[in-house]
Amino acid sequence: MEQHSATYADPTYANVSRRPDAPIETLTELEKTVRHIVSETSVIDIHTHLYAADFEERLLWGVDQLLVYHYLTAEYFRQGELSYDEFWSLDDAGRADKVWQALFVDRMPVSEAASGVVTALNRLGLSPSVYGRDLDAYRAAWAGKTAAAQVDDVLATARVKSLVMTNDPFDPVERAVWLEGSGCTDTRFQAALRIDKLLLDPSSAAVELRNLGYDVPTDDPSAFFQEETLVEVRRFLRDWCTRIGALYIMASLPGDIQYPVEGDALTALLDGAVVPVCRELGLPLALMVGVRRQVNPALRLAGDMSMQADLGLLERLCLRYPELQLLVTVLARENQHELAVLARKFRNLTIFGCWWFLHTESMIREMTSFRTELLGTSYIPQHSDCRVLEQLVNKWDHSRSVITGVLYNKYARLHQDRWLVSENDIRRDIEHYFGGVFQQVLSRAKKGRG
């Protein structure tokens, strides 16, 4: 089966007349059915940096935003002529012009991020066969659209039924929407509480907590080991999880975090505040491990690097808290197989997605293959991590295409041993991958079940 086949709905599928519970007899029909169901099944996107329209300018969308996405600015600096300062001195439209010229006109947009822009434009009705390589033509096509209309078009095209935002209580703009504004009124956009700053920079987090009315000492780094401080940190977490309706609490961590460490603030905060609040509110803890922030600050958001992780942190958290639901993704390719094997050891560890530098066709195929081989349907194959709205289309299209190929091969092997699958069987598995596993983790967390 072609590996680069698109997941665009197969128009010939309509001619298939077969009971949904009937075994699929031929491999040709099997491939057609897997492709159809994977492309048609809507998904819950469990980690994004998108915002509902309520957050106004925080919702990034449109052609220029697609082109100034930090994945593409990193690639621009490898091919473009401008210095860092010259590029950053431009406005978004100016930067988008430079990215377009360097990565789409002067060269073929073959990278994952660049080809993703082409897929998004094409699948949202701006076919390059009509708009060619004229960036202004694409800009003009969306000039009159509203954010709300684009949200509806993109979620429908990408078949995303809901998504989870990244909500940082230490971000003043984000805080204002929740404290002074309407909060989030679009139920398709769910919230997650992001607490990197609390765990990784507790002394500056303490200043913000104090300013927000929590009685956390700011002049005593050892305060986080005192119960009277941890009570206030739990109150902060509880208040914000409740205020935003967080589905989970999340943090990204470098790969060299050791846990537990006596006298270490991160250990004290995890044990004394984060895990207790997860238990109390019945929420999973989501950890994304293996990022080394700002190795090149001149790249700004694009300046972060991956690093191999010591997964001992996860192993010891799972052992210490067997009833805590952990959602985990790691950034280094070298850790992926080990993480999948670790998930076999702990039923409260659910792995998700092909994160960041792993969100590429070859890595998604490699990871989805061995994850399915080791974990069956008990993991979450993908999240988009989108920062720009229209990326939902290409990130999910490209991922669905790979997932189709992997699953077809697994079903085809069963078929050869005469274990025939039906359309219902395939639909059940895909719905599980595309939202069922996540909902099962949420439900187990609510019940306090490991």
Binding site for ligand HDL (CB under 6 A): 49, 252, 288, 301, 356, 385, 387
SS3 of the chain? CCCCCCCCCCHHHHHCCCCCCCECCCHHHHHHHHHHHHHHCCEEECCCCCCCHHHHHHCECCHHHHHCCHHHHHHHHHHCCCCHHHHHCCCHHHHHHHHHHHHHHCCCCCCHHHHHHHHHHHHCCCCHHHHCCCHHHHHHHCCCCCHHHHHHHHHHHHCEEEEECCECCCCHHHHHHHHCCCCCCCCCEEEEEECHHHHHCHHHHHHHHHHCCCCCCCCCHHHHHCHHHHHHHHHHHHHHHHHHCEEEEEEEECCCCCCCCCCCHHHHHHHHHHHHHHHHHCCCEEEEECEECCCCHHHHHHHCEECCCCCHHHHHHHHHCCCCCEEEEECCHHHHHHHHHHHHHCCCEEEECCCHHHCCHHHHHHHHHHHHHHHCCCCECCCCCCCECCHHHHHHHHHHHHHHHHHHHHHHHHHHCCCCCEHHHHHHHHHHHHHHHHHHHHHHHHHCCC
Q: Which residue is nearest to Zn ion (CB)?
A: 385
Please identify, using beta-carbon distances, which residue of 33 and 167 lies nearer to ligand HDL. Answer: 167
Residue 166 C-beta: closest distance to ligand HDL, Å:
6
Please identify, using beta-carbon distances, which residue of 387 and 415 lies nearer to ligand HDL. Answer: 387
Residue 95 C-beta: closest distance to ligand HDL, Å:
17
Told to check if 31 binds Zn ion by CB under 5 A, we report no
Please identify, using beta-carbon distances, which residue of 142 and 355 lies nearer to Zn ion. Answer: 355
Residue 81 C-beta: closest distance to ligand HDL, Å:
25
Answer with the entry of ligand HDL, Zn ion, none that 225 interacts with (C-beta below 5 to 8 A by kind).
none
Told to check if 385 binds Zn ion by CB under 5 A, we report yes
Please identify, using beta-carbon distances, which residue of 48 and 348 lies nearer to Zn ion. Answer: 48
Residue 409 C-beta: closest distance to Zn ion, Å:
29
Please identify, using beta-carbon distances, which residue of 216 and 307 lies nearer to ligand HDL. Answer: 307
Answer with the entry of Zn ion, ligand HDL, none that 401 interacts with (C-beta below 5 to 8 A by kind).
none
Residue 419 C-beta: closest distance to ligand HDL, Å:
38
Residue 386 C-beta: closest distance to ligand HDL, Å:
8
Q: Which residue is nearest to ligand HDL (CB)?
A: 385
Stretch that binds Zn ion, among 96-104, 116-124, 324-332, 382-390 (CB under 5 A): 382-390
Contacting positions for Zn ion (CB under 5 A): 385
